[in-house]
C-alpha cells in the first residue's frame, strides 16, 4: 500500500518501455504481453511517435472546445473515413468511460427513450453511467443509473434465448439503445456466436432502437480487423473509442455517430451536455492522429491476426492440463481460463518475476493483449515463459 497514492497497484516500478518491452527501475526488461490492457498498438517509443511527441512538447496553449481549430475537423473526418458504415459525427472525450457516458446521453437524447440494454458481465468503464451499463457497479456504490437492463452473456448454448429476450424488450417500443462490445473483452475474451450481433442489430433497426458498439478495447486493429465490428459487417449507429485510439501516447477518447443520430440530438433544441474540457487537447489529438495513421499505414490488424493466430497455436496445448479449462484468443486479445480460482494470482506473479507481464480478468481468468507490432520471436519467448509457469501449477 502506498502512503499517498490511493489507487496503488503492483510495486514493480516500471520506469521505461521500448517496443514490446517494459523496463523496471533496476533495468530489467519484461516482455509486455499486457500492452496496457488493449492499449498498445505501435509499441512503446515508436520512432515516429517520439518525433511527434517531441514536436508537440512545447506547444503550450489550450483551445476551449466551444471554439474552433481546423485540426479537430480534419481528424474527425479521418475517423469518419475509417470507421464502419455511416458513422460521421464525432464527439470529443478524454477516455473510454467518458465515451460510453456520451453514447448513453446521445441515445437517450436522440430517441426520447430512457432504457438501455447491455450484456451482463461486460465492462464499459468506471464512471456512473458506464459502470451502470457495465459490470463495475458494486453494492458499496449502488444504486447506479436507472433504466439499465442486462442480458446474459451469449454463447452457443444460450444465444437463441438471449436474442429472444432482447426482441421481447425491444418490441415494447421504449428502448433507447443496445450497447455492447463486439468481443466480450474484460469478461474473458469471449467471441459471440457468428449470427448474434447481426440479429441484434436487425432487431434494433426494426424497433427504432440505436445499436451501439463499444470499441474502446477492441478498436484499431486489436482483434485482427481495424474495428471488431467488421468481423460481422456491423454498421453501428454509435461507436465508442479510446485505448488503442492513442496507443497509450495520449489521454483521449471519442464517440462517433451517424449524421442522422447527430441531427436528432440537436434538432430537439435545448441544451445537450457534450462539452469536455480536456477532450481532444491539441497535443493529445496530434499525437493520437499519428498513432491512427500508423495503424492504418502499417495495417497492424494484419499482424495482429497472423501473430495472434500463431500465439494461440502455441498456447492451445495448455488445454490438455488438468486445471486449464480453455485458452481463447482473437487477434491480439487472449484469455486463459483455469478451473482453480486460487492459481491466477500465483501464475501472474511468477511470470512477472520471470520477465513477462500479464494480468487477471477475474479470479479464474488470465488476460493479456500484446502490442499489435509484436513479432513471432517475441511471442514465442513470452509463450514459453507463460507455458512453463502454467504447467508447473496446473498439471
Model pLDDT for residues 66-99, shown as the tens digit of each residue: 899 999 999 999 999 999 999 999 999 999 999 9
The pLDDT value given to residue 58: 61
Tell me the average pLDDT of the chain. 95
- Span 102-109, mean pLDDT? 97
Q: Which three cell numbers stand for residue 145?
A: 443509473
Taking 80 as the threshold, does the pLDDT of residue 57 lie above it?
A: no
pLDDT at 341: 95
Residue 343 has pLDDT above 90, yes or no: yes
Mean pLDDT of 333-352: 97
Please provide the DSSP assignment of 82-125 as one string. Answer: HSSTTEEEEEEESSHHHHHHHHHHHHHHHHS--EEEEETT----
Full-model pTM: 0.96
pLDDT for residue 11 is more than 90: no
Cα(329)–Cα(368) distance, integer angstroms? 10
pLDDT in tens, 166-182: 999 999 999 999 999 99
CATH of 54-298, one of 3.40.640.10, 2.60.120.10, 3.65.10.10, 3.40.50.1970: 3.40.640.10
Q: What gap in Å lies between CA 130 and CA 124, rounded to an integer? A: 5
Instruction: Tell how far CA 200 is from the center of its chain.
Output: 20
Neighbour-count burial of 132, counting CB atoms closer than 10 A to its CB (0-12 exposed, 13-18 middle, 19+ buried) = buried
Of the candidates 209, 202, 207, 229, which has an alpha carbon nearest to the alpha carbon of residue 217?
Answer: 229
Q: Taking 90 as the threshold, does the pLDDT of residue 334 lie above it? A: yes
Cα separation, 60 vs 195, in Å, equals: 49
Angstrom distance (rounded) from CA 175 to CA 220: 29
Q: Where are the alpha helices (DSSP H) in the chain?
A: 35-38, 47-56, 70-82, 96-111, 128-133, 159-170, 196-206, 259-267, 282-298, 300-315, 344-353, 376-394
99: Cβ contacts below 8 Å, ≥ 6 apart? 93, 214, 216, 240, 241, 242, 253, 254, 255
**Given pLDDT bands bounded at 50, 70 and 90, which one contains residue 3?**
confident
Within 13 Å, how many C-alpha atoms sit on residue 394's CB side? 30
Q: Is the pLDDT of residue 1 over 70?
A: no
Question: Mean pLDDT throughout 121-150?
Answer: 94
Residue 56: is its pLDDT beyond 80?
A: no
Each residue of 299-321: pLDDT tens digit? 999 999 999 999 999 999 999 99
How confident is residue 273, by pLDDT bands cut at 50, 70 and 90? confident
pLDDT digits (tens, 9 = 90+) for 275-291: 899 999 999 999 999 99
Amino acid at each position: 500500500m502506498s502512503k499517498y497514492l490511493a489507487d496503488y497497484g503492483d510495486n514493480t516500478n516500471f520506469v521505461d518501455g521500448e517496443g514490446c518491452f517494459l523496463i523496471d527501475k533496476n533495468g530489467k526488461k519484461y516482455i509486455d504481453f499486457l500492452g496496457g490492457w488493449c492499449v498498445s498498438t505501435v509499441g512503446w517509443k515508436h520512432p515516429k511517435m517520439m518525433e511527434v511527441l517531441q514536436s508537440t512538447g512545447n506547444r503550450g496553449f489550450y483551445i476551449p472546445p466551444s471554439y474552433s481549430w481546423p485540426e479537430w475537423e480534419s481528424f474527425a473526418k479521418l475517423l469518419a473515413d475509417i470507421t464502419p458504415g455511416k458513422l460521421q459525427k464525432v464527439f470529443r472525450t478524454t477516455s473510454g468511460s467518458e465515451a460510453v457516458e456520451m453514447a448513453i446521453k446521445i441515445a437517450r437524447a436522440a430517441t426520447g427513450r430512457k432504457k438501455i440494454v447491455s450484456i451482463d458481465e461486460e465492462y464499459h468503464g468506471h464512471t456512473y453511467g458506464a459502470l451502470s451499463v457495465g459490470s463495475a457497479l458494486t453494492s458499496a456504490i449502488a444504486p447506479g443509473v436507472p433504466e439499465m437492463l442486462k442480458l446474459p452473456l451469449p454463447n452457443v448454448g444460450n444465444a437463441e434465448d438471449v436474442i429472444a429476450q432482447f426482441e421481447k424488450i425491444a418490441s415494447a417500443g421504449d428502448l433507447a439503445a443496445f450497447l455492447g462490445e463486439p468481443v466480450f473483452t474484460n469478461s474473458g475474451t469471449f467471441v459471440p456466436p457468428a449470427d448474434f450481433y447481426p440479429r441484434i442489430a436487425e432487431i434494433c433497426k426494426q424497433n427504432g432502437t440505436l445499436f451501439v458498439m463499444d470499441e474502446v478495447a477492441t478498436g484499431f486493429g486489436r482483434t485482427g480487423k481495424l474495428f471488431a465490428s467488421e468481423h460481422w459487417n456491423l454498421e453501428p449507429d454509435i461507436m465508442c473509442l479510446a485505448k488503442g485510439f492513442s496507443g497509450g501516447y495520449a489521454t483521449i477518447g471519442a464517440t462517433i455517430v451517424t449524421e442522422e443520430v447527430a441531427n436528432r440530438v440537436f434538432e430537439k433544441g435545448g441544451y445537450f451536455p457534450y462539452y469536455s474540457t480536456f477532450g481532444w487537447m491539441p497535443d493529445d489529438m496530434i499525437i493520437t492522429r499519428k498513432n491512427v495513421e500508423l495503424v492504418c499505414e502499417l495495417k497492424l490488424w494484419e499482424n495482429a491476426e497472423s501473430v495472434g493466430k500463431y500465439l494461440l497455436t502455441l498456447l492451445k496445448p495448455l488445454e490438455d492440463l488438468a486445471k486449464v479449462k480453455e485458452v481463447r484468443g482473437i487477434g491480439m486479445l487472449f484469455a486463459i481460463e483455469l478451473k482453480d480460482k486460487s492459481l491466477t494470482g500465483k501464475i501472474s506473479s511468477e511470470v512477472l518475476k520471470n520477465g513477462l507481464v500479464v494480468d487477471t480478468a477475474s479470479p479464474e481468468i488470465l488476460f493479456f493483449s500484446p502490442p499489435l507490432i509484436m513479432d513471432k520471436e517475441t511471442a514465442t519467448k513470452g509463450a514459453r515463459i507463460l507455458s512453463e509457469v502454467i504447467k508447473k501449477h496446473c498439471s
